[in-house]
Amino acid sequence: MEVAVPQQTPKRKWRRRALWSLGILIVLLLSALIAANVFLSRSLPETKGEVSLPGLLKPVTVVRDSRGVPHINATNEHDLYLAQGYVQAQDRLFQMDLSRRQASGRLSEVIGEKTVKNDKYFRTLGLRRAAEASYAEYTSEGKEALDVFAEGVNLYIDELKENGKWPVEFSLLGYEPERWTAVDSLTIGKYMAFDLGGNWEDQAFRQYLLQTFPKEKAYDLFPDYPKDAPYIISKEELDIEKSFASAVVPYEFNGSNNWVVSGSKTDSGKPLLADDPHLGLATPSVWYQMHLEAPTVNVSGVIFAGIPGIILGHNEKVAWGVTNTGPDVQDLFIEKRNPENEREFAFNDKWEKAEIVDEPIKVKDGKSLDYQVTVTRHGPVISEFAGKSGKDTVLALRWTALDPSAELEAVLNMNKAENWNDFEKALLKFETPAQNFVFASTDGTIAYKANGKIPIRKKGDSMLPVPGWTGEYEWKGYIPFDELPKTINPKEGFISTANNKVISDDYPYHISNNWAQPYRQMRIQEFLKANKKLTAEDMQTLQMDQVNLQAKEFAPRFLEVLKGSAGKQEEEALRILRKWNHIDSVDEAAPMIFNVWMRNIGDVLLKEEIPEETLNLFNGRRSAIDELLRRALDGKPGPWIEEGGGLEQVLAKSLQRTLAELEETQGNDIADWEWGDYHQVRFNHPLSSVTPLNYLFNSDGGVPVGGSSVTVQAAAFLEDGTVNHGGSWRFVMDLSDMSKAYHLVGPGQSGNVKSEWYHDQLDDWADGTYHQTVMNDPKGDKLTLKPVY
């Protein structure tokens, strides 16, 4: 008897083949993911065991604590700084290389054509040329620290050349870093002077206003009316709008908060110190936290990756922090070019030869560019990077940061200070950027000093570009060190700064035409005045404070202006604002409405008449808009408000624009809006702008965060709501116990995407969860660096 064998239908065969193919695809995908994970993980640095390092004199221990903070213990300073260079490179080598390339104008070598304009600008500024000139300013001890730090970085680079375990960014971009030098560290230091801003952009913007608008309308956006009739160069001679279209402008909100409280107002009876520098928020953080210990120094805090020492923090006797003073340390000089010789410029009825610097720019996958920089007696001709900016007239930049200086020597000396006298003496060499230093010591002293080189001008107040050919506007020196703004042990029992005006009207020297909006400083002082028996926990609470005093000033008055004239949708928004407590909470709609409204008020007033590239030069824009609104609310509207149709129309139009913009992403029901749905921090990696690398480097997505650009918890945002600027490092210390302090370094210590310390402080940054770093007997992974005998 034959048994019938069932035949497979074509449909069943297709299913089996499909399942088989799917299985193969899953296996291949898993294999690829495993291989990628192994590839990424192999670049993780050694944090345990032993590593032999040529150049060490004695063994060095490196303990990384639970937050990835390296505690380096050496028997001498030579080994300490060599180990610091090695360890920084372990965690941040790609960031270090990118930083020196950015500041040196060498990004195009590894990126390509996209960064040529950026490179031209930084070659023109000459930060690296200034760094090269600065090396000679250092003592033998300072040079030793810089040189052995570089040696430590190079030892790690040598390891990578041998084992091939490069950070993934180098593999993706297809290059290997060059050897590190002391000048690289100094160039990064000069870049921070650039990043903390200047005032030439505002000078150029005011010049544009006077060229383009009637005087009354131009002066309406000035911080103050000029005391003397300004020199105005015609648009035909110099077109500001076109000349600076590609300028790299530092972020408007680069500022900070810091304060120090006397023991008379604290629970411990010893001073408290708090500092949170406001810079760009990215992966990795601009700051790298470390603890350095040798017989001659024991200091803990943060440093810029690529630099030796600790720039902000504490040792066993003193603690310190900074905010940006923001002085006028730049001048644009209008130069007259010899029509018969483009390399000569007029000065006191003579033609002077300018220095012509060759700065060839290599371009990845492209042809190298022959590029030259013209440097007059006042500095580099910065309008020329955009091409021929005028007939016979150009602008040269005079800037303190382009002079030789020795800030990193000052840092190393600050690290060893035992009291205010030691610390102030160290500040003698901290010339640029000018910073507001707050200080506290275990002997109970609290102090403040606005420190740095701030020029004294023969004539003028740095409001506008000035003639460079007459000699009238030259710098005749700097504010004497002993006459810089300073306070020691004030009767109020505290000192605070938040980029606010730091001098009284009778101060004999000019410092700045622009100061930050006053709201952060007002709130800090309000809190400190109202409280006694303050603790470190109170300081953390204040650093995370979301009270919006700008809203408290303007929102009620806006509501009064629009009372009875708003449409249905606008009235719902005004109703929400009417009930608001003026706190930028993450779960409310009012902060979103108000903060976006304030941005749109500026846009309604300015954007239709001023090109966006030119508006980018307007660093004092937010403060200027506040002043326009104050005058209008007090019944004295200026030309910008009047020509906008009057205050009521400006407010109504900008509110309508705000609601229409937000409805597209948040929906039609305003009551359901929450600030945190829009206002989110991401800490973007430099390569995450390239899809699909964003999934690798920024897989976390956005994290909702409260605060805004005007709250003590600083969180400035882009037009899409992305928080890209704020407290890059938060630091609190009670000087009753110098062995520990509280820190936050968002998003984490490591630049390696597979490290447990890559984004482990991202949520902490948003919700204010600090970690404690100790100086005595730290626990964690231990790496021993051994000499090669």
Which residues are marked as active site? 256
Alpha-carbon dihedral sign for residues 652, 657, 662, 668? positive
Work out the widest C-alpha separation in the chain, in whole angstroms.
Answer: 123
DSSP states along 101-126:
HHHHT-GGGTS-GGGHHHHHHHHHHT
CB 735 within 8 Å of CB 273: yes
DSSP states along 382-404:
GGGGGS--SSSEEEEEEEGGGS-
Residue 189: both structure tokens together: 């230091």
How many alpha carbons lie under 13 Å from residue 199 in its C-beta half-sphere? 29
Residue 544: both structure tokens together: 């995370």
What whole-number distance in Å separates Cα of residue 401 and Cα of residue 422? Answer: 24
CB 783 within 8 Å of CB 49: yes
645-668: b or e for each residue (b if 16 or more CB lie within 10 Å)? eebeebbbbbbbbbbeebeeebee
Q: How far is CA 726 from CA 255, 534, 545, in A?
A: 9, 24, 13
What whole-number distance in Å separates Cα of residue 715 and Cα of residue 722? Answer: 9
The residues, any chain, with a CB within 8 Å of residue 417's CB and separated by 6 or more, are 315, 317, 318, 423, 425, 426
Residue 335: both structure tokens together: 């130069």
DSSP states along 316-381:
SSEEEEEEE-----EEEEEEEEETTEEEEEEETTEEEEPEEEE--B--TTSPPBP-EEEEETTEEB
| 331 annotated as a binding-site residue | yes
Q: Does a cis peptide bond (omega within 30 degrees of 0) precede residue 692?
A: yes
CB 677 within 8 Å of CB 704: yes
Q: How far is CA 102 from CA 98, 120, 215, 247, 782, in A?
A: 6, 11, 39, 14, 34
What whole-number distance in Å separates Cα of residue 57 and Cα of residue 75? Answer: 9
SS3 content of the chain, % helix, strand, coil (to 5): 40, 20, 40
Cα angle: 91, vertex 776, 418; to 5 degrees: 95
Cα angle: 97, vertex 102, 105; to 5 degrees: 115
Left if phi > 0, otherwise alpha if psi is -120 to 50, otherwise beta: which for 226?
beta
In the annotated binding site for Ca(2+), the residues are 328, 331
Binding site membership: which residues?
328, 331
